[in-house]
Amino acid sequence: MLTEVGYLDDTVSNLECIELVLKDEFKVVSFHHPEKFLESLASHSYSAILLDVNMPILDGFEVFEKVVQHPSYNGCPIIFLSSDVSADNRIKSFTLGAVDFMSRDISPEEMLLRIKSKIQFFKKHRSIIEFGPLNVNLTLLKARLNGKDVPLTFIELKILCKVLRAYPEPVPRDVLIDNVWRGAHVLDATIHTHVFNLNTKLEEFDHEIQMYRNVGIQLVPRES
């Protein structure tokens, strides 16, 4: 499952161009109407949002303010794209809270790297992790699935956060132990027990954690 990036631009050719640049790394969900884009926040958990600056109905700055006030906004990085790279536009973008401002003249390689960098930082440091119907709040140390609280132990919560942040990549055994048990000596049987209990508590979730002995763990789609 590719990471979703939301993109709003009133010019169809711009939408097509960015989709082409990012399609191998991300699923780009594109919109040319601001209201449709804002409505999508309720049904999509974007890992980044790209906004055009100059648009006729609402400009990018107005859309930015509506996004950050939206109840479904998950705190993901917001990046402005524009042909107008004036100092006023750049200053206003960063004053509002955008994490980047990119000219349309930027090379595809640099654009991709900058977006990936912002997403990686967001995933590593975010306090709320959303994965479909699963919501994990690291500040409150709580997990909710389909709107219901899931009673996880602290160790289970740390394991779950690690696999969600790494998805779709596996978490190597040594990295897991270093992050969850602070490098202590841990038997595979101990890890297996925690993973088994976690999968049992999340039996309604459409993914599960698979453990590969002496290798690590990975979040994968649950078999039907």
**pLDDT attached to residue 17:** 93
Give percent above pLDDT 70 in the chain. 99
**27-72 pLDDT, tens per residue?**
999 999 999 999 999 889 899 999 999 999 899 999 999 998 887 7
* Beta-bridge partner residues of 145: 134, 148
Closest CA to 53 of 93, 20, 23, 19: 93
Q: Side chain identity at 14, as an amino acid letter?
A: N
* Beta-bridge partner residues of 3: 26
Residues 166, 151: Cα–Cα separation, whole Å:
22
Closest CA to 5 of 122, 83, 90: 122
Whose structure tokens read 């709040």? 137
Tell me phi and psi for residue 134, to 5 degrees: -100, 130
Six token digits for residue 3: 């990471």
Q: 112 exposed, middle or buried (CB, 10 Å; 0-12, 13-18, 19+)?
A: middle
**What pTM was estimated for this model as a whole?**
0.62
Residues 76, 6: Cα–Cα separation, whole Å:
10
Could you tell me the pLDDT band of residue 1, with boundaries at 50, 70 and 90?
Answer: low
Strands 148-150 and 207-212, how do they pair?
Answer: unpaired
* 27 touches 3 (CB < 8 A): yes
